[in-house]
Amino acid sequence: MGHTRAAVLVVVLAVAVLGLATDGQAQLQNGFYTGKCRGNDVEAVVQGIVKARFASNSDIVAHLLRLLFHECGVNGCDGGLLVDGTGTEKTARPNLSVKGYELITAIKTELEKRCPGVVSCSDIEVLATRDAVAASTGRRYAVRTGRRDSRRSVATDVNLPGPDDTVPKAAAFFRNLGLTSDDMVVLLGAHTVGVTHCSMIKRSRLYSYGGKAGATDPSMDPNTAATYKRYPCPDTASSDNTILYLDDRSSASKVDNSFYKMLQQRRGVLMVDQNLYNDSSTRWMVDRLANTDHFTWLFPQALVKLGEVKVLTGTQGEVRRVCSKFN
């Protein structure tokens, strides 16, 4: 590929990821909390708490990335996922394994001491995720703040992509959020620090592919499939909860592009991931992210865009005093 064409592709990717701001997004600002927290630097407070947690448990990166996606993928980034109670978003099946709530609570508690009723829970989610990613990559990026928290949290609103989704089905979900298929490929790169369980692939990929007993997904590298069958995921119920890393074990705690190299080798764990390479419409993007360093700057841009989906601003919603319940 010539330098000119490569440069054009980079520009096209950047424009696709950044997109256009909605009215709500337009009201978000860099440094929204400057001068609003009794002399405290809100972003510095969040960063300090997140860095301390990362130092003791790097899994917090994966937890917060998943929390943010499950948050913003349902009614936008409005704090709805954080609410406790019967029938809330938190109780929906896809959210039962979401983690990281206690860190959001710790940050909120500290900020309430410094400036009560000022910093929204939805902003804390976005800031904390940014700082966790920055702790892993060493690269900090700017995020805009000024979100407000919603007064709605309903389990039946939760309709998130599944582990076996095709590219068209997953892309339709992202499109409904105002995100492109390129955004989708970049954001699924969060699986570079993700994990799943054998139960998520045993029937669909290892033992009953296409609903046929004993069939294995032909898009999975045969050696990888054989290894899974022999060791972590034998066809017994006792292996259902065995953890599988979605990236090479040696890179599983790093936010990097090795996840895409796994897909090139047909070693993607989840079908929705491997489909990104199987489908010709997204394969080129996987190749670009695997073969260049573009993931290092496209991933933060995509996270910024995800964090600005359907936000509440101005006088909309509320600023919760406690993230787990409405005021």
Asked if residue 42 belongs to a known ligand binding site, the reply is: no
* Cα distance between residue 271 and residue 205, in whole Å: 7
Q: Please indicate, yes or no, whether residues 147 and 209 belong to a single structural domain of this protein.
A: no
The reply, when asked if residue 180 is annotated as ligand binding, is: no
Instruction: Report the helix count and the strand count for the chain, using DSSP H and E.
Output: 13, 2
Specify if 32 maps to a domain. Answer: no
pLDDT at 22: 58
**Looking at residue 178, what is its pLDDT?**
98
312-321 in b/e form (b: 16+ CB < 10 A) is bbeeebbbbe
Could you say which of 3, 63, 70, 294 is catalytic? 70
Q: Say which CATH number the domain at 119 has.
A: 1.10.520.10
| pLDDT tens digits for range 17-64 | 444 455 677 799 999 999 999 999 999 999 999 999 999 999 999 999
Q: Is residue 317 part of a domain?
A: no
Q: Is 70 a catalytic residue?
A: yes
Q: How many domains does the chain have?
A: 2
Instruction: Identify whether residues 205 and 301 lie together within a single domain.
Output: yes
Distance, CA of 63 to CA of 82 (rounded, Å)? 14
Which pLDDT tens digit goes with each residue over 305-327? 999 999 999 999 999 999 999 99
Q: Work out the mean pLDDT of the chain and round it to a whole number.
A: 94
Residues 178 and 296 grouped into a single domain: yes
Same domain for 234 and 205? yes
Is 110 annotated among the ligand-binding residues? Answer: no
Looking at the chain, the whole-number percentage of residues with pLDDT higher than 70 is 93
Integer Cα distance of 302 and 276 in angstroms = 17
Residue 183 sits at φ, ψ, to 5 deg, of -55, -45
Give the ranges where 216-294 is alpha helix by DSSP (H): 222-230, 258-264, 271-278, 280-291
> Do the domain assignments include residue 326?
no
Write down the pLDDT at residue 101. Answer: 98
Domain containing residue 298: CATH number: 1.10.420.10
Q: Which domain holds residue 85?
A: 40-155
